[in-house]
Structure 1
């Protein structure tokens, strides 16, 4: 992004950055600026100021009536460059999911625009929201209202390193998103083992996944995903710092801790549920006082099987695995770095071995 800002400066332009993240960061300017900073996007670092929109303007409508919105700084600019990852989405299905087109409609539309777009998608696909029919109508209308637009599509590998970057003309946004989603799906991170009794996730949060836990990684979307990983129970231990109390997606877990519940900003979580059209994802699962009690309760109702512990669904290069022999781990290509000693919990009932 810094290189792009430099190139624009050299061409005589005065580039600025507009957050395009819908309800992320609590839907508030300070939260969105902090989210950008966590991604390494800061004014001094990039060489361009950050302008947080105070309002969105109605520029057109969906066929069924909800408005299409764009922020005032974008409409007042002479050009627009969209920069986003193309990847699988936590809610949408189909040939186009997260990417440049979605950023134009949902991200730049702010919390209100994202909520209207989610509702429109739900009216077409029900609980399985289908994005492509919405984007096919909305994107041309938004491009007509926006200044001349181009996109830079990014694809990451399973370690979240950039593996592909591609420029796109505004008229080709949907085609670029469709084509690169196939590549992104092939490179999406996966758990080291696909089946087990219990999956322990140390932290969940919006900067990790739109639903706190990536449903494509854990194999759930308030229900099992056919063909995905299968764990009898999932324990979520804490909210990440960067989620600002947003616990949207906590319902994907079966167990959690009282300490996590104490971290929840219920207003922010409810806003995310309304915006996405999936308020049920904020329902709090069975709650326990300590991690030890949570693990024991979970395993009491699980069939015998492996226990897998990860930091979060973005950090999958290292994991703690129990209940699987060294020979089996070697056979599936996993390297054993260390054999962890017992006990696994301290006197307070907290996990001793963790990635934090």
Structure 2
């Protein structure tokens, strides 16, 4: 919703009276000051050069690349730290063996389910003809390459279908909606991402219980067409940096090899250092942070079936305060929050958000619901604390993070500091300070 569509807080006038009541209520006292802390991570595998590692991983494909072959290289997933260098490595390597590579979006319904919208999203991720050294071609058109046992058509990007080969690039990680042998990775980018809007919608239509199996079956069906060269699988560590880049052969996609990568990725995933919180304050959500806006593996919420589905962490209330510019108004996952400030609502493009939600099925419906809306950041935090169930706010277990890609840099209240002193993996990085100032969240540093 643009500022032109949404009246300012001054124009709303008396309709915002309840927020002053929240400020006056303060049932638990006052919000304690917060202290910045950092989680210390040791023995974290890290790629020294993702570009070089990606190029080396591609060498087994050399005998399979015909001169001047048009090879489609996928790009699309958000929040991948080294997406640009890995995609560029693939493009440069393909050129070096005589191919004619080009990049195609593999984004399902994102970008408002338009080709131009998906190109715009790729540009927001740093993927442009100039940055990767090749053309970017996009379409929403698909071809049907087969059907599942229940009659669901398997759609495949029309440009990819006409190419001489397809090289998939994606991060392998636990999915934000379900658990299974194959979750988020190479099979998903092939089945969902390259299915474009209609393909993503058809695979999601059966609901989350069938999604994992549908992804596996659809990916194998597309691989059987014979044009998939393989997938560059990116694993990331708990510092959100690349841990490894490996080639997944076509017969390993949606198979044992991809299952093994998923198990490794799950062990590397960054998580909050606390299992129980009263309030989690998140500065930003966005499609560049997670496909779900906020990584459900970090916040412990899924809401696909209306209730939290992950055992930990347990967080009573969550406030989210802004939408990332790279989301282009797509507020997917906003329903995972409990309270937001009005300025976040003004950043939402409801058309783009609802196209994504409608494609995602039941999970999209629940995650697109609006949280409680407060006047500003201060009122938002006060509302979250009021509803968290903690009677005495001097004992409030509140943590603040920038986004769910950054769970190792936090600000915490004194009730959590007592645990920090007992943890070898946590350290204090600055002095205590007020969480909000003049109605807005305070800065992360004193600089």
Is residue 190–residue 217 contact of structure 1 (8 Å, CA) maintained in 2? Answer: yes
Task: Please say which of residues 258-267 and 100-109 is displaced more in the overlay.
Answer: 258-267
1:5 aligns with 2:91: yes
1:141 corresponds to which residue?
221
Q: Where do 1:207-222 residues align within 5 Å?
A: 207-222=288-303
The alignment partner of 2:346 has SS state of helix
In the alignment, the residues of structure 1 paired with residue 281 and residue 142 of structure 2 have an alpha-carbon distance, to the nearest angstrom, of 40
Shift of 1:326: 4.3
Give the deviation of 1:328 after TM superposition. 2.6
Partner of 1:155: 235
Q: More deviation in 16-25 or 133-142?
A: 133-142
1:169-318 alignment, distance < 5 Å: 169-175=249-255, 176-222=257-303, 223-277=307-361, 278=363, 279-302=365-388, 303=390, 304-318=395-409
Per the alignment, in what secondary structure is the counterpart of residue 441 of structure 2? Answer: coil
Using the alignment, how far apart are the partners of 2:229 and 2:137 within structure 1? Answer: 18
Contact 1:190 1:316 in 2 (8 A): yes
Helix, strand or coil for the counterpart of 2:412? strand
Residues 1:23 and 2:115 aligned together: no
Q: Taking structure 1 as reference, are residues 148 and 211 closer, same or farther at Cα in structure 2, changes over 3 Å only?
A: closer
Residue 351 of structure 1 corresponds to which residue in structure 2? 441
Secondary structure of 1:319's aligned partner: strand
Corresponding residue for residue 178 of structure 2: 92
**Distance in 1 of aligned mates of 2:212 and 2:302:** 20
- Separation in structure 1 between the aligned mates of residue 352 and residue 443 of structure 2, nearest angstrom: 31
Deviation (angstroms), 1:146: 5.2
Query: What is the deviation of 1:42?
Result: 2.3
Structure 2 SS opposite 1:335: strand
**Aligned residue among 313, 320, 330 for 2:411:** 320
Structure-1 separation of matches of 2:267 and 2:212: 20
The match for 2:34 is none
Write the deviation string for residues 29-64 of structure 1: whole angstroms up to 9, x where unpaired: 333223323433222222221111241122222222
Partner of 1:341: 433
**TM-score (norm. length: structure 2):** 0.74
Match of 1:166 among 246, 253, 270: 246
CA RMSD of aligned residues (A): 1.9
* 1:51-66 alignment runs, 5 A limit: 51-66=137-152
Whether the 8 Å CA contact 1:84–1:99 is kept in 2: the answer is yes
CA 325–92 in structure 1, closer or farther in 2 if over 3 Å, else same: closer
C-alpha displacement at 1:339, in angstroms? 1.2
Q: Distance in 2 between matches of 1:165 and 1:5?
A: 15
Relative contact order higher in (CA < 8 Å, ≥ 6 apart): 2
Any idea what the Cα deviations from partners look like across 1:212-232, whole Å, max 9, x if unmatched? 111110011123234311121
TM-score (norm: length of structure 1): 0.92
Q: Which residue of 2 aligns with 1:125?
A: none
Match of 1:32 in 2: 118
Aligned partners of 1:141 and 1:325: how far apart in 2? 50
Deviation by residue 1:227-285 (Cα, 9 ceiling, x = unmatched) = 31112110011111111111121111111111111211111111111111121210001
- Choose the corresponding residue for 1:42, options 128, 136, 160: 128
Once residues 299 and 229 of structure 1 are traced to their aligned partners in structure 2, the CA distance between those partners, rounded to angstroms, is 17
Is the Cα contact below 8 Å between 2:156 and 2:194 reproduced in 1? yes
Q: Could you tell me how far apart the structure 2 residues matched to 1:212 and 1:202 are?
A: 12
For residue 19 of structure 1, report the CA deviation from its aligned partner: 0.7
Question: Which deviates the most, 82-91 or 33-42?
Answer: 33-42
1:130: Cα distance to partner? 4.1
Q: Where in structure 2 are there 5+ consecutive unaligned residues?
A: 1-86
- SS of alignment partner, residue 294 of structure 1: helix
Q: Report what 2:205 is aligned to.
A: 119
Structure 2 distance, partners of 1:254, 1:104, is: 34
Shift of 1:4: 2.1
In 2, the alpha carbon distance for the partners of 1:202 and 1:341 equals 16
Distance 1:301 1:8, change over 3 A: closer
Question: Residue 192 of structure 1: CA displacement?
Answer: 2.7
Contact 1:205 1:212 in 2 (8 A): yes
How far, CA to CA, are the matches of 1:225 and 1:55 in structure 2?
A: 35
